[in-house]
Each structure stands twice: as structure tokens, then as C-alpha cells.
A and B are shown apart, each in its own frame.
Chain A
Amino acid sequence: MNAAVLVFPGINRERDMARTLQLMSGRAPAMVWHADTMLPAGTDLVVIPGGFSYGDYLRCGAIAARSPVMDAVRDFAAKGGLVLGVCNGFQILCEAGLLPGVLMRNQNLRFICREVYLRVERSDTPFTRGYNAGQVIRVPVAHGEGNYIADSETIARLEGEGRVIFRYCSPDGMIDLNWNHNGAINAIAGIVNERGNVLGMMPHPENHVEAAIGPTDGRGLFAGLAEVLKKAA
């Protein structure tokens, strides 16, 4: 795995992500400054971590999406490279046009940091091959704007094409309002693009990888990616 973690001013979970990538792949990722115009040679995974890039000014991720480095990310994605956006990273991918829809304010209008349950809808993507389809995993969320919204046509396409990868659910995998903390349409927590190489998700799998600290359900995502990239190398 040759991961590149993008760092925009105000991103604040880059250290969490770098530590997890190192733990799960054995290799420290490259930390790429937003003003750079190229990704390091040989990059096989781009990760956009969480935070409040540019202070969430204008709209979450709006300014970061227009950074010089995003052109390189677009090229990379167009050639099939794997891109993972977490939390603010998901918001940036939507603003950059790499994923459809938008993340609005949580329905209770407050920031929420808690453990949630996610149902892994498919296991045949590079991001979820470390899980079984239908598996319920426990990961934390920490966001004020995670309420995924898109027009009905887009939602129909996402659902129809099986591009919803994670959904908020109850501990036994049922979708219901009580277990959807931010009000996202169809309890959508994470989606992929048409090609399936760009994934955006609101929860933080990178914070649930060490047994000494807490649950480890996040490992499956990174273990799966590491395996895919090792095979491809």
C-alpha cells in the first residue's frame, strides 16, 4: 500500500488516519499538503481524512474541493485509483463532484460523537472485502453535518445500482429512525461512485482499530484495502 493522506488547513484527523494506515499496512502514508499539485509517484490509495477544512467556511469541504491537489486526485480517480473520503473527506468528495449528493446539518442541529452501528451492504468492493455482506459493525461518528441528502433521482440510482455501501442500523441490522442519529435519507452512511473506486463515508473506521483502546470493527476496511493493493502491486 502506498497511501497518500491529503492535509488541508483545518483537517484534524490526519494523524489518526496515518497511524491506522501504518498499523494496518505496515507502511507510513505520505502526507500531502493541499497546495501540492501532484501526488507522490506510485500512490495507490488517496485518503481524505476528517476535520474542519478551512473552518467549514462557506460550506463544509467547499474550499478544499477547489484546492490545487484535487485536480491530481480527479486524474487519479479517473484512471481507476482508489480514493477514500472520511467525514470531512466525504464532504470534500461531494463538493469536488467525485460523489453525488451533499451532507447537510444533522437533523437535531447538534454535533454528535457516539458509537453507531453500520450495516455493510456489500462485501464485493475493495473497501468492504474485509467484511461479510449484511455484517453489522460498530464505529464512531463525530460530526455536525452528516445528514446525506440527494434528489430523488440520484437516490434511486444509488440504490438501484447498489452504490450504498454502509447504512446506519440497529445492533441487529434493522434500519429504523431510532438508529439514524443524523436523519440521512435511507440511513445512508457511505456510498461509492459509478466506477466503484471512490468511497465516501461519514463514520470514522480509523478510530476503531486498536483493541487496547476500544472496539476494532474498523480494521476490516483497512485490512481489505491492504490486501487488494498488495495483490495489485
Chain B
Amino acid sequence: MAGTSPAMTNEKLIPNEPRITPELVAEHGLKPDEYQRVLDLIGREPTLTELGIFSAMWNEHCSYKSSKVHLRTLPTQGPWVIQGPGENAGVIDIGDGLACVFKMESHNHPSYIEPYQGAATGVGGILRDVFTMGARPIACLNALSFGAPSHPKTRHLVSGVVAGIGGYGNSFGVPTVGGSVRFHSRYDGNCLVNAMAVGLAEKDKIFYAAASGVGMPIVYLGSKTGRDGIHGASMASAEFGEDAEAKRPTVQVGDPFSEKLLLEACLDIMRKGCVIAIQDMGAAGLTCSAVEMGAKGDLGVTLDLDKVPCREERMSAYEMMLSESQERMLMVLKPEKEKEAEAIFRKWGLDFAVVGETTPGKRFIVRHGGDVMADLPIKELGDQAPEYKRPFVTAPKPEEIKAESVIPPMGIAEALEKLVATPDLCSKRWVWEQYDHIILGNTVQRPGGDAAVLRVENGPKGLALTTDVTPRYCEADSFEGGKQAVAECWRNLTAVGAKPLAVTDNLNFGNPERPEIMGQFVGCIRGIAEACRALDFPVVSGNVSLYNETNGRAILPTPSIGGVGLLDDFTKSASLAFKRGGEAILLVGETTGWLGQSVYLRELCGREEGAPPPVDLVEERENGDFVRALILDGVATAAHDLSDGGLLVALAEMAMASGIGAVLTEAPGDIPAHAHWFGEDQARYLITVPAAKADLVLGRARAAAVPVWRIGVTGGDALTLAGERPMLVKILRERFEGWLPVYMAGELP
């Protein structure tokens, strides 16, 4: 295991360093074969600092070593894509010289350990990824997964995570406008916090991370470096064992006030033409940003840690390289602009320090106190880190569950009233009222709808934003589940009238060294890729979070999809609330009564079984385009896409949002009633149109070969169905709004 030759440089060996033992290597998350790769690469034993650097750059979170080979199969291009995956965030062209910059990222492991700060710094990190590209953030969303409500930690996690997201976003000053929250026992030991940020920039004023030019100053910007978060990235690349609590020092601590100052200062220096390249310091802090900037630009980087602003005394090189202190950026500066840039940072009260320079040789060299602490090949650390093609097995597809085989445990009305109060379907108002969702004055559609809608600057354009995924579908059939996640996002955007443009994906899975987990990952990616291709909905950014397991029990496969769509005129967007009585309710799309993997089957029959509903991408496109045209023509007065809970839940959602009921025609007799009302067939929407226009719309549908049925009329104070007692909107609303606040107040088991 010992190296075979002395140190590469002719500087003196570093005294007083701990011996590199197999235990120390393992603690750093490096497997024996990976360590051997280090030895082969540098021809000697690494210093402690170098070991830390490899640990950071080659861990799963930073290197994507288990996922890269599969991520390459995703479609990432399109006529409106300016920058695909590989940069801090993705960039799409939204016309009129504007670009939308966005990405979703995970902060799962830290949030489980320290929910407030874990979630807060997740938001902070993703905001930086967006503004480091020169975009002013305009919105945040998030996708949250928590354990079963009965699990002792769940309330604590929900409370902390939501407070943390709100605490950071509200203070920073960006509206948090949407997201999703789900509960399932498979997240008992591993919650998921996926944070998405969206920003706007001028499309020819985007800043990238690749350094260019030899001898350029490398500048440290922002808050001082402390001892927080060391090994945060390595912690996120491993499962939790019994000792999860002891990992608290690995959680970073955020300060949104500093980040707001950092945002303004960065946008200022960008405007003044000071920046050649810029990258935020996130996972693995100074190490990752410096290595990536050099590696991407095919340049070397030399750092002098004596110049790094610290808020703790006597920090070691190891600590400075691995600290994940927040609110810091690294940039390559135009040398002639140094004084101007520094003055801007002083005005905003932030640190500005020249800590290194770009070099011609492709080495990453770190000096501290006169010693060379690290001297490593930069490409192999960065974009040429190890890549694995891990073995995988695909789970057999479950049997389809026939509707006739499911005995309804209760009547339709009782079933609906129960379902709207289940954890996954209930109102999440308790969550989103803790987020300032109106700051900046551009929120056209607030949380609670199919997608958030924002006005772009002073209009007329609008952006639609959503996050979605159905993990139980992915667990049952990863390919169909991956397809469905993308299709549902696409539907959410369509249902508000937007043209879906692009995707950011946050892929959350268990331990990739287990072939069945790797199989889930590969299957979901295949499904996502197929749907993105078929729907012209490319992936422009994303994040992978693996090792979401505790004591061998993995989360449900959860590939969160974040979608962005465009409206040419934000005033034409549609919302799901019924608008008035007397309007025709039309159902777009085929209903076969698919109960497999449905919320109905799980919550009311206690069965998590069956194949998930299949996704026909051609139908998705045809049905969606038909609905969108009706919205933009002003014919559809309300629109909603169908998902969890099926048709009757979707109708209830439209009624509860408005206070207006509906009189529904009887279900066609060809399938059992409960399957008709609660089945989760895909590619379906509900729209309302003025009664006088219904026939016209049905005619248009026939001509377009899109299946559309008139299923009722709006009005009254209840959902009325022949043969059932009326389902009063007031009662539905009480149940819908009541579950989560009562649960969080600790009054339910």
C-alpha cells in the first residue's frame, strides 16, 4: 500500500502528517481499488490534503461515477437549448433576448441530520448555481419526501425542512411558488429535499465555469471559511448507519442575508465586465470549484491558502480545501479589473481575495504556509474521474390488476371524502404558507395549482414551473415510472396553457452497488429519455443523489422532474378552479379504470400492488396539444390534469378551489364505478367550457381524433352523482384542508 517513490515535487515533504492507513482511506469513502487508482495515478502515497481532495472529487455526489454513463443517454438538445447539462445550471432561450436558467439539486442527507440547516443550505446552494451564471433568481420550487406520518421523526423533519426552506428563500428574497410533498414509510430513514431555482438573464450575457487564459488571478468571493460542512459531500455519498446523528458537524450552516449581498455583488461585477469565469463553492467547497474551473478550461490551478479569508483560527490546508462554508464563489478575474471588482465587494461588505492563478501545466497545486500540500493532475481529478458501469438487474414487471378484481371497500362518496384527507392528496397549505410566494410581484398563479405561473419582467410572456414524480410507479416498473414522471410534468405545464420547454432532473435512489437499485436507476433513465424525446422536452440540468438508504433499506426510486414552460401571454394562463356555474365539464383522454398502484388501492384497500398505469406518449402529446389550444383560444375557462386519485379527486380539486360544485353524469357501465372514478389512467385532463361552446369543442375533438366526453355541468354546492349521496364542497374542503395542520400540531397519531 505504501508508495513506491518519493514526493513528485522537489519541495520538502510535509512534516507531522498522519500516516495514511487503510482505515483512514476507508473513512474518506474511497474503496481499496479506488485508492490503488490514486497510487497508480500519482506514483506515490498522497498527503493527507491530497487524500481529502480525492475523497471529495471522486465521491459519488461530485463525480457522478455510478451515473455518468447512463446520464449520457438523456436527450439534452433542442432548438431553444443554450446550455445543457455540465454547467452550474441549464440555460434555455425564451425569446426577446432573454434566457431562463434553472436547475434542481438535492440536499437529502444533510436535511435528515439537521433539517433546518440542511434544507436552508440546499436552497442557498441551488440559488448560487443559478446566479453564478449571471441570472437573477426569480423563483424557487421544491420536491419533498418524508417518512410515514406515524414515524417518530417525521413531524420534526417536516417542521425543520419547511422552516429552513422558507427561512432561506424568504430572507434572500425570491418567491417559493410550487413543489410537491409526499409521505411514505420507505423514506423513514432518508427524507428527500430537492430544491429547484429558476432565474432570468440576457441570453448573450451568460457566464460559465471554464477558466481561460494563463496567469489569470483566481479570486475568492463572499463569506469567510470556517469548519462547517467538512466532508458534507462524502457524507452525502454514503448510506446512513446507526451513527447518523453523529454526522451533524458535516451539515453546513447558511446565511441568506450574506447570500443576498453576494448575489448583488456578483451581478454587479458581471455587469462591469470583470468576470472571465465563475463557479459557486458548493459540495466539496474550494476543492471542487477550483478543480472544475481548471479542468473544464484545460488549465492548471495553483492556490495559496494563506490568502483564504477564514473565520476560524489556524485552519489546516485539509480543512480549508474541504470546508463547505456557504455563500462563497470562486472566479477567474480579468486582471485589469481587480480594483473595480474589489471595491464592489467591499461596498457589499463581503470578502474579496486573490487566492491563486491559472497555470499552463495541468496540475492542481495547493500551497499553505510555505509547504506544497497537494500537487495532483487536474483532469483526472475533475472531468476524468473514475466512471463505473455497475451491474444491474431489472425487477420483473408486476401483473396488471383488473378493476373487477378490486372489491370497493366503501361507497364512492365516502371514498372521496376519505381520499382528500390522506397525506399525499391533502392540501399542503400548511407548507406553502410558510413560503413567501408573492415577493417580486410577478406571481400570477400561486401554489395549489397544476403549475406556478410567473410574469416575465413586465410581460407579456409568462413562465410556468412545476415539479413532479410518482415514486410508487417507479418502484413497480422503473421504465413506465420514469416516463410517467416526465409526462406528468409536461401535463402540469400544459394544463396552465404553457408550452413545455425543458427539464431539470433530480434522481434520488438507494445504493448503486446493489444491482436491483442500479436496475431501478437504469430503468427510470430509459423511461425519462424516451418521454423527453417524444415530447421535445430535453434535460438541460440535473443532479443525482445515491445511497439514500438506511441499514440496507432504500427509498422508493424517486426521479424528481422539474419542468419549465413558456406562455407568450401570461394573461392567457388557465387555472383549475371552476369559474362559474352552468359550464360544461369535459374529460379529455381515455379511461380504462386503472387501479394498479393507485392511491385508491393503497389508501382504501391497503394494497401497494400491480403494474402502474402505462404511458402512451403519442396520446399524451395529442391530448395535451388539444387542451393547450383550447386554453390559448380562450375557450377553456378552467383546466386541470388528472393524476393521483383519478377523475373524482380531480373534480373535487376543481370544486374545492372555487366553492362551486358539479352535477356529474353517470359513469359508463363498461367498467366498475370505483375504477372509473378513481383509476389513474394517464394522458387525461378536465376542462370547462361555456355550455354554448361544448358541441363545438366536441366537434373539434372528433376532427382531431382526441377522445373527449361531456361528463357534467358546474354549479351547486356539492359534487352530485346519480346513486350517491351529494358530496358537499364545504365538507370536502374541511377534510382537504384539515389533515396536515392537525397532524403537524401533534394531534393525530
Contacts and interface: CB of A to CB of B under 8 A. Distances in A.
A83 B166 CA distance: 29
Interface stretch (B182-190, B253-261, B484-492, B700-708): B253-261
Interface residues of A, number: 29
A42 to B, nearest CB: 26
Contact of B440 (A15, A57, A111): A15
B260 A114 contact: no
A213 interface: yes
Which among B163, B170, B459, B571 has the highest number of chain A CB atoms within 10 Å? B170
Given A9-B348, A12-B173, A212 B444 contact: yes
B435 A52 contact: no
A213 B444 contact: yes
Nearest to A114: B433
Contacts of B98: none
A142 B433 CA distance: 9
A213 B436 contact: no
Contact of A113 (B257, B261, B348, B433): B433
A50 to B, nearest CB: 8
Contacts of B571: 212
A201 to B, nearest CB: 16
Interface in A99-140: 110-114, 140
A210 interface: yes
B441 interface: yes
Interface string A4-30: 000001101101100110000000000
Interface string B168-180: 0011110000000
A213 B443 contact: yes
Given A142-B438, A207-B439, 10 more contacts: A15-B441, A52-B173, A55-B256, A110-B163, A110-B434, A113-B170, A140-B438, A142-B439, A204-B438, A213-B443
A51 B173 contact: yes
B441 A19 contact: yes
Interface string B606-648: 0000000000000000000000000000000000000000000
B212 interface: no
A98 B438 CA distance: 28
A214 B570 CA distance: 13
25 contacts: A9-B349, A10-B260, A10-B261, A13-B173, A13-B439, A15-B440, A15-B441, A16-B440, A52-B173, A55-B255, A55-B257, A55-B258, A110-B434, A111-B166, A111-B167, A111-B170, A111-B434, A112-B433, A113-B433, A142-B170, A142-B436, A142-B438, A210-B441, A212-B570, A213-B441
Nearest to A209: B441
A206 interface: yes
B393 to A, nearest CB: 46
Given A112-B433, A212-B571, A207 B438 contact: yes
Contacts of B349: 9
Contacts of A9: 257, 260-261, 348-349
B436 A111 contact: yes
A71 B305 CA distance: 43
Nearest to A56: B171
Given A56-B171, A113-B434, A142-B170, A10 B439 contact: no
A204 to B, nearest CB: 8
A114 B431 CA distance: 12
Nearest to B258: A55
B674 interface: no
Contacts of B348: 9
